[in-house]
Amino acid sequence: MAVDITLLFRASVKTVKTRNKALGVAVGGGVDGNRDELYRRSPRPKGDFSSRAREVISHIGKLRDFLLEHRKDYINAHSHILSEYGRMTDAERDQIDQDAQTFMRTCSEAIQQLRNQAHKETHSQQVREHRSAVLDFTQDYLKRVCKLYSEQRAIRVKRVVDKKRLSKLEPEAAAKTREPGSEDVSLDPSPAGEKPVAEEHAEKVPAEAQPELGSWGDGKGEDELSPEEIQMFEQENQRLIGEMNSLFDEVRQIEGKVVEISRLQEIFTEKVLQQEAEIDSIHQLVVGATENIKEGNEDIREAIKNNAGFRVWVLFFLVMCSFSLLFLDWYDS
């Protein structure tokens, strides 16, 4: 177990102070102390980077608090059911969405700016590493808070789509099937996208409901329905229930699949974005490599030329030497 000796340390500081006083050494070292003070007051690049980073972080913190505060109200599904407080109209929700998005955009821009600035300022390697790590942390934090926001939003969108589907199923005549169906459906969060299937089934049902209405309309005149007709209606009801149930099952299955697909999409987009960065860097490398090879070729050509030139000079020198030898020989004879 670690032992906190901070108090011991402070006590030692006091001891040293009193000892120094007793020995007559000025505490804080007189001139040196002043120099230190001045030294410190001289503009160290103290606040600039880190205070800005801290500002960004506090902004993100505010956003997070804001989202968490209104979260309950936001996702309250039964807000159409009257409650005293905590009702949130859709307009308010839209407002929150807008604000959150602009906020997040400004934050990420601020982080990007800080990053560029940090790159430009040439400091030592360590400071640069430290700054980029700090920016990574900040970006991470922003991502986490954004996740909060997107979760909320996804739930809200699901409920909206869900409501839309309910309102489509409303004009069905089969009153009994509507209640269990809508209750079940409203309990499961249903995603967007199964509309085409739902719609065509929804259309089929009203189409089927029409003849029923028609038959009811016709049979309205009679007060009593003959037993055969009752039986027929019973059978039809049963059939309709069966159809609704199977419909409902299919729809649920498809919902599940679509949820999975959307999750997969998310994962894939993430991966693709990552790969984009990597491909960019590979592209840079390749471009650099082709440049290098071109330069290399140039250099080789130069070298060949120089080699050739050198040979020419050597030949020339040899020929001159042999001529001069001949000349001397002729001169001498």
Partner 1 sequence: MVGAKMATASIRERQTVALKRMLNFNVPHVKNSTGEPVWKVLIYDRFGQDIISPLLSVKELRDMGITLHLLLHSDRDPIPDVPAVYFVMPTEENIDRMCQDLRNQLYESYYLNFISAISRSKLEDIANAALAANAVPQVAKVFDQYLNFITLEDDMFVLCNQNKELVSYRAINRPDITDTEMETVMDTIVDSLFCFFVTLGAVPIIRCSRGTAAEMVAVKLDKKLRENLRDARNSLFTGDTLGAGQFSFQRPLLVLVDRNIDLATPLHHTWTYQALVHDVLDFHLNRVNLEESSGLENTPAGARPKRKNKKSYDLTPVDKFWQKHKGSPFPEVAESVQQELESYRAQEDEVKRLKSIMGLEGEDEGAISMLSDNTAKLTSAVSSLPELLEKKRLIDLHTNVATAVLEHIKARKLDVYFEYEEKIMSKTTLDKSLLDIISDPDAGTPEDKMRLFLIYYISAHQAPSEADLEQYKKALTDAGCNLNPLQYIKQWKAFAKMASAPASYGNTTTKPMGLFSRVMNTGSQFVMEGVKNLVLKQQNLPVTRILDNLMEMKSNPAIVFVVGGGNYIEYQNLIDYIKGKPGKHILYGCSELFNATQFVKQLSQLGQK
For tokens 């102390």, the residue is 33
Nearer to partner 1 among residue 15 and residue 83 (C-beta): 15
Tell me: does residue 29 bind partner 1 (CB under 8 A).
Answer: yes
Tell me: does residue 278 bind partner 1 (CB under 8 A).
Answer: no
Give the C-alpha distances (Å, rounded to integers) separating 256 from 188, 262, 286: 11, 10, 44
* Binding mask of the shown chain, residues 202 to 241, with x at each position contacting partner 1 by CB under 8 A: ----------------------------------------
Spatial separation of the C-alpha atoms in residues 154 and 151, rounded to whole Å: 5
Minimal distance, residue 73 CB to partner 1, in Å: 19
Minimal distance, residue 182 CB to partner 1, in Å: 25
Nearer to partner 1 among residue 123 and residue 164 (C-beta): 123
Please give, one letter per residue, the 3-state secondary structure of 218-256.
HHCCCCCCCHHHHHHHHHHHHHHHHHHHHHHHHHHHHHH
Tell me: does residue 284 bind partner 1 (CB under 8 A).
Answer: no
In the three-class reduction of DSSP (H, G, I as helix; E, B as strand; rest coil), residue 71 is classed as helix
Tell me: does residue 260 bind partner 1 (CB under 8 A).
Answer: yes
Task: Choose which of 28, 30, 211, 214 interacts with partner 1 (CB under 8 A).
Answer: 28
Sign of CA dihedral 134, 140, 142, 148: negative
Give the chain's radius of gyration (CA, Å): 41
Which region, judged by CB under 8 A, interacts with partner 1, from 15-23, 211-219, 302-310, 315-323? 15-23
- Using alpha carbons, select from 91, 67, 31 the residue that is nearest to residue 146: 67
Task: Choose which of 89, 122, 126, 333 interacts with partner 1 (CB under 8 A).
Answer: 126
Tell me: does residue 36 bind partner 1 (CB under 8 A).
Answer: yes
Determine how many CB atoms are found less than 10 A away from the CB of residue 149. Answer: 21
Alpha carbons within 13 angstroms on the beta-carbon side of residue 304 total: 6
Tell me: does residue 72 bind partner 1 (CB under 8 A).
Answer: no
Minimal distance, residue 291 CB to partner 1, in Å: 23
Spatial separation of the C-alpha atoms in residues 136 and 130, rounded to whole Å: 10
Tell me: does residue 9 bind partner 1 (CB under 8 A).
Answer: yes
Which amino acid is present at 323? F
Site for partner 1 in 236-255 (CB under 8 A): 253
What DSSP state is assigned to residue 191? Answer: P
Site for partner 1 in 132-171 (CB under 8 A): 133-134, 137-138, 140-141, 144-145, 148
How many chain residues bind partner 1 (CB under 8 A)?
57
Task: Choose which of 27, 285, 289, 303 interacts with partner 1 (CB under 8 A).
Answer: 27
Angle between helices 90-120 and 125-169 (to 10 degrees): 160
90 CB contacts (<8 Å, ≥6 apart)? none
What phi, psi does 49 have (nearest 5°)?
A: -65, -50
Binding-site ranges for partner 1 (CB under 8 A): 1-6, 8-9, 12-13, 15-17, 20, 27-29, 32-33, 36-37, 39-40, 44-47, 49-51, 57, 60-61, 64, 123-124, 126-127, 129-130, 133-134, 137-138, 140-141, 144-145, 148, 253, 257, 260-261, 263-264, 267-268
